[in-house]
């Protein structure tokens, strides 16, 4: 018997067109060529994702003496999942908006095959729409809101009819009404948590895209961002903890494998980053690193220090090229701030830079999106970014785009959560642009990007 089966839903079918697929593949091929030419090595492209959050949960639960199993739903392994459910007391699934329906289906099947099983859903979607998730899905017994380590430990230790004192959960009372218990305080000391349970991954760790998180929370409130699941209060893992995790990964992964730090803004605590870089150099760590930066938390010295410690890639949330759009979306950066940051990175270390971009933010108009095409051409032509990761705007639950839709001129068209994947036809329209117009600009942006990247390769090859 085990206490808990944890299920990840690492991928799902997005409904993008063949045209998009073709543009995407061409862009990727060009990028791989470029990176190989510049760095002299071909980056190892991992095929599988894991849920870092579930690995954190699994290790915390295990440290309290509970037996836990981790399964990844791949669309074909129902038998593996029901087999694990049959020997479990609890069945927990993680949820993004685009995967909540799959999470509910898996809970339903698990309950059908294992009467008496308690099903739990956590993650960004369920945390924000806890009541709706329970009301619409009778097969889900309870929702864990926000960080799950301590909440889950208490649930597993309590009799199933004694949940009234467990903070951070929403559940069904004996009469069927949905009860939301008070929120739980964020984990205050991340150093108290054990290292993620990498040993539970079903495949060889080298098959995965490695993402790790060394802090939780973000002080900003960009209107489109669903970062709030871990709360807004920023907490940093102690350096010794991060070093232990990197040292472990260094023993498991081949030379040059890139570790993606998924922290909201990795460089927010400058001293911590400088000390980590010194440790990476001293230890001759053979891994490479990527992290997200904002202009307020980057300077020439830091960029040089980081590039000397194998930080070969940075991501920058550019989002849009128009200050009015950035302002309306509370990004608190301007186009000029972003250009300064990109120039600084280019002049100090020359890392690969991915600019994150969102098509269809509130405030967008035909004119602003036309301007964006010019800005994107400039970014590629001037080699200020290596690539642009362009996604369709989605008003995710828990964001201001969702909560304040009307005031922002947004009409939400669909609550078919499968479409909330950032690649499908937009689930919203703006007073200024229809969903079809937004999608056309999304595709046009992709085409312009490819064109400019081709030119760049032609000129420099």
Using CB under 6 A as the binding rule, whether residue 214 contacts ligand B12 is answered as no
Q: Which of 70, 396, 402, 441 binds ligand B12 (CB under 6 A)?
A: 396
Using CB under 6 A as the binding rule, whether residue 49 contacts ligand B12 is answered as yes
SS3 388: strand
Using CB under 6 A as the binding rule, whether residue 401 contacts ligand SF4 is answered as no
Sorted by sequence, the CB contacts under 8 Å of residue 268 that are 6+ apart come out as: 215, 219, 234, 297
Q: Which of 23, 57, 287, 433 binds ligand B12 (CB under 6 A)?
A: 57
Please list, residue by residue across 73-102, b when 16 or more beta carbons sit within 10 angstroms of its beta carbon and e when fewer do.
beeeeeebbbbbbeebbbbbbbbbbbbbbb
Burial class of residue 407, CB neighbours in 10 A (0-12, 13-18, 19+): exposed
* Chain centre distance of CA 68: 24
Contact 229, 94 (CB under 8 A): no
The contact mask relative to ligand SF4 for 257-296 (x = CB under 6 A, - = no) is -------xx-------------------------------
Which residues, numbered 207-236, are part of the site for ligand SF4 (CB under 6 A)?
A: 218, 220, 222, 225, 227
The whole-angstrom separation of Cα 208 and Cα 255 is 15
| 453 token code pair | 């990247």
Ranges of H-type helices in 64-129: 78-86, 100-113, 124-128
DSSP for 76-87?
S-HHHHHHHHHT
Using CB under 6 A as the binding rule, whether residue 387 contacts ligand B12 is answered as no
Distance between first and last Cα of the chain = 60
Closest of 59, 62, 102, 100 to residue 78, by C-alpha? 102
For residue 267, the minimal CB distance to ligand SF4 (Å) is 12
- In sign, the C-alpha dihedral spanning 69, 73, 79, 80 is negative
Burial class of residue 12, CB neighbours in 10 A (0-12, 13-18, 19+): middle
Q: Which of 213, 288, 390, 445 binds ligand B12 (CB under 6 A)?
A: 213
For residue 185, the minimal CB distance to ligand B12 (Å) is 13
Contact 412, 430 (CB under 8 A): no
Contact 126, 133 (CB under 8 A): yes
Question: Given the structure tokens 């997200």, which residue do they identify?
Answer: 292
- Residues in contact with ligand B12, total (CB under 6 A)? 42
| Residue 424 CA neighbour count, 13 Å, CB half | 17
Using CB under 6 A as the binding rule, whether residue 257 contacts ligand B12 is answered as no
Q: Which of ligand SF4, ligand B12, none does residue 147 bind (CB under 5 to 8 Å by kind)?
A: ligand B12
Q: Which stretch binds ligand B12 (CB under 6 A): 48-56, 199-207, 233-241, 325-333?
A: 48-56
Q: Which of ligand SF4, ligand B12, none does residue 277 bind (CB under 5 to 8 Å by kind)?
A: none
Q: Which of ligand B12, ligand SF4, none does residue 96 bind (CB under 5 to 8 Å by kind)?
A: ligand B12
Q: Which of ligand B12, ligand SF4, none does residue 123 bind (CB under 5 to 8 Å by kind)?
A: ligand B12
Using CB under 6 A as the binding rule, whether residue 97 contacts ligand B12 is answered as yes
The torsion angles phi and psi of 215, rounded to 5 degrees, stand at -155, 165
Using CB under 6 A as the binding rule, whether residue 397 contacts ligand SF4 is answered as no
Q: Which of 53, 317, 363, 426 binds ligand SF4 (CB under 6 A)?
A: 317
Q: Which of ligand SF4, ligand B12, none does residue 84 bind (CB under 5 to 8 Å by kind)?
A: none
**Which is nearer to ligand B12, 339 or 427 (by Cβ)?**
427
**Which is nearer to ligand B12, 157 or 336 (by Cβ)?**
157
Which residues, numbered 133-162, are part of the site for ligand B12 (CB under 6 A)?
A: 144, 147-149, 152
Using CB under 6 A as the binding rule, whether residue 440 contacts ligand B12 is answered as no
For residue 396, the minimal CB distance to ligand B12 (Å) is 4
Q: Which stretch binds ligand B12 (CB under 6 A): 89-97, 333-341, 367-375, 451-459?
A: 89-97
Which residues, numbered 403-432, are part of the site for ligand B12 (CB under 6 A)?
A: 421-422
Contact 2, 67 (CB under 8 A): yes
Question: Given the structure tokens 């993606």, which residue do they identify?
Answer: 260
For residue 343, the minimal CB distance to ligand B12 (Å) is 26
SS3 305: helix
Using CB under 6 A as the binding rule, whether residue 122 contacts ligand B12 is answered as yes
**Which is nearer to ligand SF4, 257 or 315 (by Cβ)?**
315
**Which is nearer to ligand SF4, 145 or 295 (by Cβ)?**
295
Contact 378, 321 (CB under 8 A): no
- Contact positions vs ligand SF4 (CB under 6 A): 218, 220, 222, 225, 227, 264-265, 317
- Contact positions vs ligand B12 (CB under 6 A): 9-12, 49, 51-54, 56-57, 92-94, 96-99, 120-125, 144, 147-149, 152, 211, 213, 225-227, 229-230, 262, 264, 396-397, 421-422
């Amino acid at each position: 018997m085990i206490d808990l089966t944890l299920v990840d839903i690492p991928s799902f079918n997005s409904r993008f067109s063949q045209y998009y697929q073709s543009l995407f593949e061409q862009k990727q091929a060009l990028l791989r060529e470029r990176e190989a030419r510049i760095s002299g090595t071909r980056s190892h492209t991992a095929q599988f994702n894991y849920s870092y959050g579930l690995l954190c949960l699994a290790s915390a639960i295990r440290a309290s003496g509970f037996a836990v199993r981790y399964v990844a739903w791949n669309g074909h392994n129902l038998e593996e999942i029901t087999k694990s459910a049959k020997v479990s007391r609890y069945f927990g699934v993680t949820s993004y908006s685009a995967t909540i329906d799959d999470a509910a289906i898996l809970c339903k099947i698990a309950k059908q095959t294992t009467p008496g099983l308690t099903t739990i859903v956590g993650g960004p979607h369920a945390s924000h729409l806890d009541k709706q998730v329970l009301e619409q899905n009778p097969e889900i017994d309870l929702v864990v809101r926000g960080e799950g380590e301590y909440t889950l430990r208490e649930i597993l230790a309590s009799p199933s009819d004694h949940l009234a004192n467990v903070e951070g959960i929403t559940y069904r009372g004996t009469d069927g009404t949905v009860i939301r218990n008070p929120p739980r305080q964020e984990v205050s000391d991340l150093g108290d948590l054990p290292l993620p349970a990498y040993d539970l991954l079903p495949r060889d760790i080298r098959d995965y895209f490695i993402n790790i998180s060394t802090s939780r929370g973000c002080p900003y409130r960009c209107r489109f961002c669903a970062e709030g699941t871990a709360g807004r209060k920023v907490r940093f893992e102690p350096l010794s903890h991060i070093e232990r995790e990197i040292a472990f990964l260094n023993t498991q992964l081949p030379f040059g494998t890139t570790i993606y730090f998924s922290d909201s803004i990795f460089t927010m605590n400058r001293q911590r980053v400088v000390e980590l870089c010194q440790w990476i150099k001293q230890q001759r760590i053979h891994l490479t690193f990527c992290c997200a930066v904002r202009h307020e938390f980057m300077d020439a010295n830091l960029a040089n220090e980081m590039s000397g410690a194998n930080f070969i890639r940075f991501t920058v949330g550019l989002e849009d090229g128009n200050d009015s759009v950035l302002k309306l979306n509370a990004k608190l950066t301007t186009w000029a701030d972003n250009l300064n940051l990109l120039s600084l990175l280019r002049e100090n270390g020359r890392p690969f830079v991915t600019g994150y971009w969102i098509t269809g933010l509130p405030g967008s108009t035909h004119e602003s999106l036309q301007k964006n095409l010019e800005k994107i051409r400039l970014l590629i032509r001037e080699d200020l970014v290596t690539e642009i990761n362009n996604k369709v705007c989605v008003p995710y639950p828990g964001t201001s785009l969702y909560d304040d839709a009307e005031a922002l001129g947004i009409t939400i068209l669909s609550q078919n959560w499968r479409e909330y994947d950032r690649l499908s036809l937009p689930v919203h329209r703006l007073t200024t642009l229809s969903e079809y117009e937004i999608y056309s600009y999304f595709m046009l942006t992709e085409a312009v990007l490819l064109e400019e990247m081709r030119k760049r390769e032609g000129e420099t090859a």
